[in-house]
Structure 1
Amino acid sequence: MKLGMYSVEMKRPTTGELFKAIRDTGFSQVQFDFSSVCEEHMQLRFEANLLHEIQTQSEGNNVEIVAVNGTFNMIHPSKQEREDGHKWFAAIAEASRELDCEFITLCTGSRNTKSMWAWHESNQEPKALEDLLASIDKVLEQAERYNLILGIECEPNNCINTPEMARKLLDTFKTPRLKIIMDVANLFQKGQARKENVRPIIDNAFNLLGNDIYLAHGKDIKEGDNLIPTYAGDGIVDFEYFLEKLDHHDYTGGMLLHGIYDEGFFSDSVAFINDVIDKHERTKAP
């Protein structure tokens, strides 16, 4: 299994230095966010020379761009904000194809106007879900235009915050262009982050979504009543069991480490995951 990371968790002044650091840390895949190399997060146009530089550095460092961030607040209470998000997403869709990447990540959003990753009590009201369906319709139009696959994940503070809701969303659209990003750390609700809950929560998610997984995220979560994400190996996620479930559902992609908010922990997380993968591979050997 190949290892990847999320580009915004590693800061470098140039595109070349960024991809070199990703390679040197032990990664061969990346979920790329344009904010890693652009001053403005939501640009409506990406210069050809920038895209060429990204692709050149990606190829030169043997780091495959397996996902591009297309996250915007799909249920922002402001219609104008949502429309701006769709315009930006259209630019991301075109740029992704220029980078030979077919997969774009989404955020199902929050009614919270300060952060799309923060909870709001109206996130699951009928009007919020209605706005989400309309937003997904629009991004699917771009997916069709550019032959892309889009990924959602369960996020405890977002509109789609459980595997059950994610399953309903997939069943509503019934399109191979909408897939799942499986991030086990995001499956816990407040009060659930206990070791005894880990495997049952993983089982439930895979029973509902296992056949629709496109990308696996390697984030961890600390034990406790609150939801505190952390880097792989620093929490309670059973990564060996996670790999078993991925195998059972014929997942052939990589593991993209996420939740590394201090670069000093990259080496620990990479070593931990490599050990888990090695052990897993040995148990499968005849």
Structure 2
Amino acid sequence: MKLGIFAKTFDGSEPSTVLNSVAQAGFTAAQYNMACSGLPPMPETITEAQARSVAEAARSGGVEIVAVSGTYNMIHPDPALREVGLRRLATLAERCAGMSTGLITLCTGTRDPIDQWKVHADNDTPAAWRDLLEAMEAAVAIAERYNVDLGIEPELANVVNSAEKAHRLITALKSPRIKIVLDPANLFEVATLNEQRRTVSSAIDLLADRIVMAHAKDRNPDGSFATAGKGVLDYGHYLGRLKAIGFSGSLVTHGLSASEAAGAATFLKGALGGEGAGRG
């Protein structure tokens, strides 16, 4: 597996500054965010030169751009805002080749009007699901046009809040463009070790043929998020299950400070070398 990190973990508004920090912390891959180019995360416009500068900085720093973040609230209660997000997704997709990447990560969304990562009671309604299908169908058309894949992530606060719902979406859309970004810390909040292992194993087994990226963060015993290796997630089990399905993509950490990055890289390298021996 390639070891990566969210580029926006590091300060900077120039690709070379940020991606050099990625490499110096011990990572060979990055999930890029256009904020690292001094732009909004989902810009209205991206010039060819701005895209090319990302690829050039990546090559110079020895870092692979394994994905770019294209998250917007796909089921926002205001349809006009959904349309804005879709338009900006097309802008991003058009420039992916210039940035030497072929994967855009998405947020399947929430009915919360303010925070796209906040759970809402209406997320489980048939109307929310219909809106997601409509948004994803439009996103798939963009992906086809620009030859990119779309990574969706089961996330407790979003409409796709489980591996089962992710599988249901894949089945409904019937598009090979839909891929899975798997973050086990987004599949549970508070769970016993056995419950956690069952949840993670089930998700990996169900979605195995679509997993293109694995995320790496953690949970504290109270359910709050933690830096990878500093919580209760059984990394030995998680990485062992990924290896068992033949996963060879990127393991990308996030949800940490820049000062923690080198330590997280050391932990994850050790966990990857342990072939599933305990939590590492």
Provide the TM-score with structure 1 as the length reference.
0.93
1:111 is displaced (CA, Å) by 0.7
Which structure 2 residue ranges, 5 or more long, are not aligned? none
Q: How many residues align?
A: 278
In the alignment, which residue of structure 2 is the partner of 1:209?
207
Equivalent residues of 2:183, 2:216 under 8 A apart? yes
1:196 is displaced (CA, Å) by 3.3
Equivalent residues of 1:194, 1:223 under 8 A apart? no
CA deviation vs aligned residue, 1:145-200 (integer Å, no higher than 9, x gap):
11111111111100110111111111111221101111010010x4x333332211
**Partner AA of 1:244 in structure 2:** G
Quote the Cα distance in structure 1 between the aligned partners of 2:264 and 2:11.
17
Equivalent residues of 1:73, 1:107 under 8 A apart? yes
Instruction: Identify the match of residue 244 of structure 2 among 226, 243, 248.
Output: 248
In the alignment, which residue of structure 2 is the partner of 1:238?
234
In the alignment, which residue of structure 1 is the partner of 2:167?
167
Runs of 4+ in 1 over 6 A off after TM superposition: none
Quote the Cα distance in structure 1 between the aligned partners of 2:6 and 2:146.
23
After the TM superposition, which of the residue ranges 105-114 and 209-218 deviates more from structure 2? 209-218
3-state secondary structure, aligned to 2:226:
strand
Q: 1:1-286, aligned counterparts within 5 Å? A: 1-188=1-188, 190=189, 192-224=190-222, 227-260=223-256, 262-280=257-275
Q: CA RMSD in A?
A: 1.6
Provide the TM-score with structure 2 as the length reference.
0.95
1:88 is displaced (CA, Å) by 0.2
Equivalent residues of 1:67, 1:101 under 8 A apart? yes
CA deviation vs aligned residue, 1:120-163 (integer Å, no higher than 9, x gap):
11111111111100000001001111111111111110011011
After the TM superposition, which of the residue ranges 267-276 and 19-28 deviates more from structure 2? 267-276
Equivalent residues of 1:193, 1:221 under 8 A apart? no
1:104 is displaced (CA, Å) by 0.8
Equivalent residues of 1:66, 1:103 under 8 A apart? yes
After the TM superposition, which of the residue ranges 215-224 and 65-74 deviates more from structure 2? 215-224
**Partner AA of 1:47 in structure 2:** T
3-state secondary structure, aligned to 1:75:
coil
3-state secondary structure, aligned to 2:274:
helix
Quote the Cα distance in structure 2 between the aligned partners of 1:35 and 1:17.
12
1:44 is displaced (CA, Å) by 1.7
3-state secondary structure, aligned to 1:122:
helix
Quote the Cα distance in structure 2 between the aligned partners of 1:20 and 1:234.
25
3-state secondary structure, aligned to 2:43:
coil
> Quick one: structure 1 residues 13 and 98, their matched pair in 2 at CA, closer, same or farther if it must change by over 3 Å?
closer
CA deviation vs aligned residue, 1:5-34 (integer Å, no higher than 9, x gap):
011221124322111111100011000110
Equivalent residues of 1:195, 1:223 under 8 A apart? no
Quote the Cα distance in structure 1 between the aligned partners of 2:150 and 2:15.
25
Equivalent residues of 1:58, 1:64 under 8 A apart? yes
Which structure 1 residue ranges, 5 or more long, are not aligned? none
Quote the Cα distance in structure 2 between the aligned partners of 1:174 and 1:91.
24
3-state secondary structure, aligned to 1:123:
helix
3-state secondary structure, aligned to 2:113:
coil
